[in-house]
Structure 1
């Protein structure tokens, strides 16, 4: 999500009443879509751009690792899905091209990119070894006019990973299938609920809050021995991006193996105070990337990836390469659940 210009991108006319006489609806304001070159996020209603700018692709390609950390066990195929139903990130096409060019350069996999949820079906998924969710948002698999089709797609994705394949997701892949219900009073904490619990569990949690772009975040390396973090210095690193956090009860170290997290102790009091008090995590645990076993399959998730410039970082792109190879089953890694004591 991004809030700066988003309020200007969609407007809804209000119809009012005075006494018993209904007034005519105010003229609807024209939809203002992001100008060319805009980066960040915007609400639905504008066409979702499906191409990355050449300058961004060039900068991303300069950051590509020379080789993959693991040799593929066989020819691998990755399906990238970039459908966003609510918030649309301009970095989605670049994330998709990152996956494609990582596979092409290292030989680790072949890539197909789609923005059509209909491609998530049992027959089509048979040819793929992993699905990459590129900042998908909202009910990205659903057809609101066809529940049977929606049910088939949902089951296909869950069966895909449970039966031995992989899912990798970046940034808004956790901003899906959840809702917020206001508390009984203004002071009461809102109720955050996952609307597709099985998917929420597969992804390790769902979105609650973010520190807006550009916020400087110090990243802690929770598992410096993992092949998925070998590209980072053990002391951690700094990144400027939009940083997601998860609803208190949706994410837990007792379920996922945390690779990196926000070094909360190094955050300024000013930035800490930006998180709403009535939904603030009580454990100070803000995971950024993690892996987990789901049935016979594997899941990798990275919370950063909002802004295009993140994809220009060689260590970050190498982290994504390793994570996808883990999801494919080619890069073994300790994926046992972390424990609160290790934080």
Structure 2
């Protein structure tokens, strides 16, 4: 009889334990608001990041609503991903909330057009590491590994040939970021980055962590295992895993 009475309590305890375990998964907010060019690869990007989360122990929410950048909402997240955002996407109050978010030790991931975002916000320029200046036509190019390393970053070919839209940058902070990948400017037409062309980097900034990749314009990027593993390493870094 006592055993029968004990079973419901054991079941309840197991449920609470499992619920608590699941709740420990880091939460990530995918923000994809645009006030300029809209990338039609955004849905593929969202789906790919969700799948990465399912496979690697983090959960994702998505929004284009800048009002979600408030203290109560942001405290749920370990990192925010700016997925092909463009233009001015946050108001003054939301910018303050984003700054507080990073200063609390959280993370930021910028994908491709995240550098084509918030040109009038100097703090954001430092967070993301550079601003978009221009791009030539989409084309095949050679990506080269740089000296910096990031935990979990996959081994890439010594010369990684891939098709994408390749950005040139301005307002750069190369001396403050850890460059992971550079572009071989001899491999493309229209390169305009003074001979040194970082396209992926990370840094600690203002109490938090930042990772940026210039790749990710095309739909095909989000089905490319090499790119996805590269992006996953950046997300893990941002969330502190």
TM-score between both structures, scaled by the size of structure 1: 0.61
Match of 1:245 among 168, 172, 177: 168
Q: Is the 8 A contact 1:82 1:93 kept in 2?
A: no
Q: 1:127 matched to which residue of 2?
A: 76
SS in structure 2 of the partner of residue 118 of structure 1? helix
Q: 1:267 matched to which residue of 2?
A: 187
Q: Which consecutive residues of structure 1, in runs of 5 or more, have no partner in the other structure? A: 1-73, 142-149, 179-194, 331-343
Q: Which consecutive residues of structure 2, in runs of 5 or more, have no partner in the other structure? A: 1-23
Aligned pairs (5 A) from 1:1-343:
74-107=24-57, 109-141=58-90, 150-178=91-119, 195-213=120-138, 215-223=139-147, 225-233=149-157, 235-247=158-170, 250-264=171-185, 266-267=186-187, 271=189, 274-275=190-191, 280-282=192-194, 284-330=195-241
Q: Is the 8 A contact 1:241 1:305 kept in 2?
A: yes
**Comparing both chains, which one has the higher relative contact order based on Cα–Cα distances under 8 Å and sequence gaps of 6 or more?**
2
Q: Is the 8 A contact 1:174 1:207 kept in 2?
A: yes
Structure 1 runs of 4+ with >4 Å offset: none
Q: Is the 8 A contact 1:91 1:308 kept in 2?
A: yes
SS in structure 2 of the partner of residue 161 of structure 1? helix
SS in structure 1 of the partner of residue 167 of structure 2? strand
Alpha-carbon separation, structure 2, partners of 1:261 and 1:106 = 27
SS in structure 1 of the partner of residue 140 of structure 2? strand
Residue 303 of structure 1 and its aligned partner are, at CA, apart by: 0.3
Q: Is the 8 A contact 1:245 1:287 kept in 2?
A: no
